[in-house]
Amino acid sequence: MLLESPFIKFQDELYFAFQKFQNPDEITLEKIKNEFIFDRILRKNNFIYLCNKIEEVEIISEYITSKFIITSVVEEFLNKKEFKKIEEIDNYILEINSDEKIQYDSEITKEILNSKLTESLNVIEKQ
């Protein structure tokens, strides 16, 4: 049976729910306990979930395509730059993506950088 999300956080532990049963009686529950291998049974809203605990995990790689997230990263990056040049966009993208574990979509990053730099240059010209 497919779950909305197979991950459950319970008492500061993360579990992977691999099976879901709707309100089993005691006999069925005993059969389930004998037939499946699991770390814990969790109950919520008249369902029981057979779960295995997820031990310590580490993000190996993450590819970000969210414009919302990339916009905040670009804004933070540009706020740290004393001088900003639109010709440096490709170098800025390389700097933003210098962490191998988290990579931001280059096209979206370029689009946002171009927009933010153009916006800031227009403000400077008006002053």
Show pLDDT as tens, one digit a residue, over the chain (127 residues): 344 568 888 888 888 999 999 999 999 999 999 999 999 999 988 899 999 999 876 666 688 888 988 999 999 999 888 888 889 999 999 999 998 778 999 999 999 999 999 887 765 555 5
* Residues 47, 66 within the same domain: no
Cα atoms found within 13 Å of the Cα of residue 123, Cβ hemisphere only: 7
Report the C-alpha gap between 89 and 81 in whole angstroms.
Answer: 12
- Round to whole Å and give the CA distance between 73 and 92: 12
pTM beyond 0.75: the answer is: no
Question: Is residue 18 located within the same domain as residue 45?
Answer: yes
Q: Same domain, yes or no, for 44 and 69?
A: no
Is 1 within the bounds of a domain? Answer: no
- 8, β-bridge pairs: 15
In a domain, 2, yes or no: no
Q: Identify the domain containing residue 20 by its residue range.
A: 7-53
70 neighbors 76 (Cβ within 8 angstroms): no
**Same domain (yes/no): 49, 89:** no
Report the side by side order of strands in the sheet with 47-53.
7-10, 13-22, 47-53, 40-44
